[in-house]
Amino acid sequence: MRMKISFMTLLTGLMLSASVAAQPIMIDDFSSGDVSKTMNGFKWSGSDSANDLSSVTHVAETETRKGELGHGLHFRYKAGSSWTEKRFDLGNPHREVWVRYWIRVPDNFKHGSGNPNNNKFFALWMDGYSSKGDGPTVFWNYWRSDNGAELTVSYSHGQKTVSGPNAQRTDFIDDSADRGRWMEVVLRVKAATDRNSNDGIIETHRRWEGEGSFTKIHEIKDANIAAPPGGPNGWHSGYIMGYANATYSEDTIWVIDEIEFSNSSLLQSAARPRPPIPQ
């Protein structure tokens, strides 16, 4: 009996440990009307105010599909302008990071014709961005295609190096079919064991609103993305959207809502709140 109790106590402890490890790093639906929310050390860079249309990134009140009022983080690329992004600090280093959020394709989406034509979508790094870091950086870029845009992944392995080749070019947005649609994306990055082990993982999953499950559109299992010997021991900072080499010919607005950061899988298919439609 004593052994049984001991075993159950151990099992309960393991379950509690797993539960603690699975706690989210950050969840934000921007219901505060700005980017002031913090959680577990996570914080957004800057202090965007609600409905500040003079800012290229701002939280604005919008009307949901159900006719209710909500908020979303807006990224407004002004015609001919390249720069719109929101940076974040995870607060602590994490060897594995999952990110999940809704993002709305602009009503007037049309990829620009600049050269090069890659536009930033998301990035995550450890101690310094791209060639400024001894640790690695992972990038997602969307590129012009015949029908709209394709999405790729790439990374710098650290040691002050720039990004390597863009890999796994995948259809992402169709100009004629996807304007105004919401998609939910899940991004996963896991650091390599060490600099002698090319076992880092990079994944992208996507589902359009109305789809019951995610489709994996990127999977890299041999990435050279180990933490730098001097630390930090994991991913620490990043940005959403970012520099557009191929600028838009007219003002173009992306909207993000219901974003979550975690160190465990976010692929569960449980229903989540519907995102807002920008006014």
pLDDT score of 65:
45
**CA nearest neighbour of 253 among 26, 62, 49:** 62
Q: Domain 26-277 maps to which CATH number in 3.30.1490.190, 2.60.120.200, 3.40.50.720, 3.50.50.60? A: 2.60.120.200
Confidence grade of residue 62 (pLDDT, cut at 50, 70, 90): confident
**Count of CA atoms in the C-beta half-sphere (13 A) of 56:** 16
Grade residue 113 by pLDDT with cuts at 50, 70 and 90: confident
pLDDT at 161: 96
Phi and psi, residue 223, nearest 5°: -75, 135
- Amino acid 3: pLDDT: 39
In sequence order, which residues have a C-beta less than 8 Å from that of residue 8 and are 6 or more positions away? none
Q: Are 200 and 226 in contact (CB under 8 A)?
A: yes
Question: Residue 104, Cα to own-chain centre: how many angstroms?
Answer: 14
**For residue 173, pLDDT beyond 80:** yes
Q: How confident is the model at residue 10 (pLDDT cuts 50, 70, 90)?
A: very low
Can you tell me the distance from the alpha carbon of 148 to that of 209, in angstroms, rounded to the nearest whole number?
19
Q: How far apart are the C-alpha atoms of 174 and 79, rounded to whole Å?
A: 21
Task: Determine the average pLDDT of the residues in 189-193.
Answer: 98
pLDDT (average), residues 240-254:
96
Q: CB of 232 within 8 A of CB of 62?
A: no
What is the edge-to-edge ordering of all strands in the sheet holding 118-125? 43-44, 85-94, 235-241, 118-125, 137-144, 148-156, 167-174
Amino acid (1-letter code) at residue 143: W
pLDDT at 47: 60
The pTM assigned to this predicted structure is: 0.88
Q: Hey, what's the torsion of the CAs at 123, 128, 130, 134, to 10 degrees?
A: -130
Q: For residues 5 and 2, what is the distance between their CA atoms, to the nearest angstrom?
A: 5
Q: What average pLDDT does the segment 89-95 reach?
A: 98
Neighbours of 212 (CB within 10 A): 7
CA-to-CA distance for 166 and 159, rounded, in angstroms?
19
Model pLDDT, residue 114: 86
Phi and psi (nearest 5°) for 272?
-125, 160
Q: Which residue has the tokens 């519907």?
A: 274
Split at pLDDT 50, 70, 90, the class of 20 is: very low
Phi, psi of 205 (to 5 degrees): -125, 145
pLDDT of residue 273: 54
- What does the pLDDT average to over 125-137? 97
Q: Who has greater pLDDT, 18 or 167? A: 167
Residue range 8-24: mean pLDDT, rounded: 46
- pLDDT of residue 279 exceeding 90, the answer is no
**Average pLDDT taken over every residue of the chain:** 87
pLDDT value at position 61?
A: 79
High-pLDDT (> 70) share of the chain, %? 82
pLDDT at 16 over 50: no
Q: Is the pLDDT of residue 67 over 70?
A: no
Q: Which residue has the tokens 């908020």?
A: 71
- Mark 96-120 as b/e (b = at least 16 C-beta within 10 Å): bbbbbbbbbbbeebbbbeeeebbbb
